[in-house]
Structure 1
């Protein structure tokens, strides 16, 4: 890509970011993006076929990184010997959440788009996807506890869904409101302690 092409692309990205942050994906105007970028519509279509493609270009890497980090943490925990899983329940997930928080704070605009302005795109499903991953991991862990001979009560699936989505919404509140990172780190620590204790009680541990 030539220097001129790179400059044009940067102008389009900058204009797109501002338009999407202000109006959200659905209400964003491609005409305004092109005008703000100072390029022609034809120049825009030389890079992207639609505003949807532009939105994806702005957030896809961050979205994929987040889900990959979360999946990898769940797999890391599942790969532990079964006898060691109970003692590492909060450690692996805690390290993952801390890493995700730091990453999100390095990309606050992109995550504001994902969390607040992505309705109408596939990126609006971040919490749903994370909930699905967490739910499966929870069921797998309950089976591990049962295999270890521990008493495990049956957990109502609706309560389970409420608690898991509530946990992620709590986590993302810090990012959405752009709380100072120092305060966000403290809140994350408290949140982890709260949810870990609650899950331990529900799981009968």
Structure 2
């Protein structure tokens, strides 16, 4: 891609970011994005096939990075020897959350699009998908505890979904409220402590 094309693409992305952040994906105007970018509609379609494709080009690298890191944390914990897992509860996830907070603040505006402005796109269920994965791996861990002889009360999947949803939705409130990073990290640490203690309590640990 030549320098001129790169500049055009950057102008489109800049205009799109502002429009999506102000209005959300559904109400954002492609016509206004094109106008603010200073390009013709024909030029726009030389880069993107649709408004959704434009949104995806901004959001996808960051959604993939965060979800990828989240999955690494889940699988690394699940692949530990069974006997080691109880002692590691919260360790891998804590390191992952710390990484995620740094990543969010290093890429704040596109991540805010992902969390706050993605209704009407395939990304609108991003947090919900994380919750579903968390619940799946929670039940895997419960089976490990049972295999080690721990007396774990029977837990309803819907209850576990509610608890995990509270954690993840709460975590991303830092973005919805534009919280300063230092304050966000402090609150997230406290939220994690609360969540971990709660899980241990209901699991009989």
Report the TM-score range of the alignment, normalised by the length of the smaller protein. over 0.9
What's the counterpart of residue 143 of structure 1?
143
Which residue of structure 1 aligns with residue 130 of structure 2? 130
The farther-off stretch of 151-160 and 61-70 is: 151-160
Unaligned 5+ segments in structure 2 are none
Looking at structure 1, the residues matched to 81 and 178 of structure 2 have their Cα atoms a distance apart, in angstroms, of 38
Residue 85 of structure 1 aligns with which residue? 85
The answer as to whether partners of 1:108 and 1:178 remain within 8 angstroms in 2 is: no
What is the alpha-carbon distance in structure 2 between the residues aligned to residue 186 and residue 32 of structure 1? Answer: 39
Q: What's the counterpart of residue 167 of structure 1?
A: 167
1:110, CA displacement in angstroms? 1.0
User: May I ask how many residue pairs the two structures share in their alignment?
Assistant: 205
Cα distance between partner residues in 2 of 1:106 and 1:128: 23
Instruction: Tell me what 1:21 maps to.
Output: 21
Give the aligned partner of residue 76 of structure 2.
76
Aligned to 2:96: 96
Aligned CA RMSD, in angstroms, stands at 0.7
4+ residue stretches of structure 1 with deviation over 2 A? none
Contact 1:152-1:204 within 8 A present in 2 as well: yes
Displacement of 1:198 after TM fit? Answer: 0.2
1:157 aligns with 157
Residue 48 of structure 1 corresponds to which residue in structure 2? 48
